[in-house]
Amino acid sequence: MKKFLICFILVAGFLGAQCKWAFASQGTLLRFLKPTYKEGPVPIVLVAFGTSTKAQVTFDHIDREIRKAFPGHEIRWAFTSSIIRKKMNKKYEKQGSPKRLKSLQQVLSDLEANGYRKAVVQSLHVFPGEEWIHILNQGKIDGLRISYGEPLFATWEDVNKILDDIVKDIPNPKEGCAILAGHGTPNTYSSPATAVYLAFDRLLHTRFSNCFLGSVEGIPDKEDAIKRATSYPKDYVKIIPIMLVAGDHVMNDIMGTEPGEDGELSWALELKKAGKKVEAPTVTINGKKYYKGLGFYEATTEVIIEHIRQAMRDL
C-alpha cells in the first residue's frame, strides 16, 4: 500500500510538471500567433483604371502631390483594369523588374496582412461610373475597416472648381471653340454616370458659349461633339480631355494622326477634314511633351486631397 502511494505521488507530480510546461508553452505559442496591429497614420490606397502608355507620368505627378499632403501615411496604388495589370506585369517581368500592378483586393489583403485595421480607398475616376461601382463592391476585406473617397465629379462644387481651372485652356469665343472629351459609359443601367454626363453637358452650355461635350463610349458622343464644333463659326478647335490620364483614348481615338485599322478617323482627323485647326493642351515634364489629362490640373489634386481628408473623417 505504501509503495502504491509513493508511485501515485510520483506520477501525479510528473503529470503536474508536464501540464505546467504545456500551459506555459501554449501561452508562448499564443503570444507568438497573436496578430500585431499597426499603429500610426491610416494608409491611403489610390485607385485608378490604369494605363500602359507614357501617360503614366500623370500617376507619378499625383503620387508626389498626395505624399506631400499626407506625410507619414503609407501610399499604395491599385488598378481596376485587369487587362492593364496583365499587360504591364508581363512587361515588368520581361524587364526583370520586381514592380507589379495590383488589384484593389490584392492591395487591401496586403494591408490587412501587414497589420493595418483601417484604410482609406480613394477613387481617381472622374465620373461615378462602372469603375466606381466596382470599387464599392470589390473593395472589402474581413478585418479591415475601409472609408471610400468619392470620384472627382462627386459634387457640383467639385465640378465647378475643376472647370474654373480648365478655363485657362478654353479658347476665347472669338478665336474658336473647345470640345471636352470624356470616356463615357456604354450602359444606361449600371451607374448614374450617364445622367451626370448629360447634366454636365447642360452646365457647359450654361457657363460657356463655345464648349461642347463628347465621349468615347457614351453620350453625348463623338458625332454630336464634332457636329457642334464644325458648326461653330470659327476654325480653331481645342480638344480638352476630361479624363484623369490622357492615355490611349486621347493619343489614338481622339488625337490620332492616322486612321484606325477599321479605317475610322480620330476626332482630330474628322475635324481637320472639315477644315478646322485642331490642338489639345499639353504639359512638358523633364523635357518631354505629354497630352494634358485632368491629373495635371492643380484643382484636380486639391479635390482628391479634400476627398481623402473627408474619407479619413468618416473612419
User: 221: which 3 cell numbers?
Assistant: 458622343
**Which one from 125, 183, 205, 307 is the annotated catalytic residue?**
183
Reported as half-sphere exposure (CB side, CA atoms, 13 A), residue 214 has a value of 26
Higher pLDDT among residues 2 and 51, named by residue: 51
pLDDT reading at 267 higher than 80? yes
CA 176 to chain centre: 32
pLDDT beyond 50 at 34? no
Topology agreement, domain 44-153+296-314 and domain 156-294: yes
Please choose, from the candidates 8, 59, 57, the residue with its C-alpha nearest in 3D space to the C-alpha of residue 289. 57
Distance of CA 302 to the CA centre of its chain: 15
Residues 209-236, mean pLDDT to the nearest whole number: 95
Q: In residues, how long is the chain? A: 315
Does residue 25 carry a pLDDT above 50? no
Calculate what percentage of the chain has a pLDDT beyond 70. 87
Residue ranges at the known binding site: 183, 217, 249
Grid coordinates 471610400 are at which residue? Answer: 148
Angstrom distance (rounded) from CA 139 to CA 150: 13
Query: Each residue of 105-133: b (16+ CB within 10 Å) or e?
Result: eebbbbbbeeebebbbbbbbbbbbbbbbe
pLDDT score of 108: 96
pLDDT at 261: 82
Is residue 205 flagged as an active site residue? no
Compute the mean pLDDT over every residue in the chain, rounded to the nearest whole number.
Answer: 89
**In CATH terms, is domain 156-294 a member of 3.40.50.1400?**
yes
- The residue-averaged pLDDT of 247-268 equals 92
pLDDT at 168: 95
* Amino acid 3: pLDDT: 52
Domain boundaries, the chain: 44-153+296-314, 156-294
Is-contact 283 296, C-beta < 8 A? yes
Torsion of CA 158, 159, 164, 165, to 10 degrees: 80
What does the alpha-carbon distance between residue 268 and residue 272 come to, in Å, rounded to a whole number?
6
CA angle 196, 202, 203 (to 5 degrees): 85
Q: What is the CATH architecture assignment of 44-153+296-314?
A: 3-Layer(aba) Sandwich (3.40)
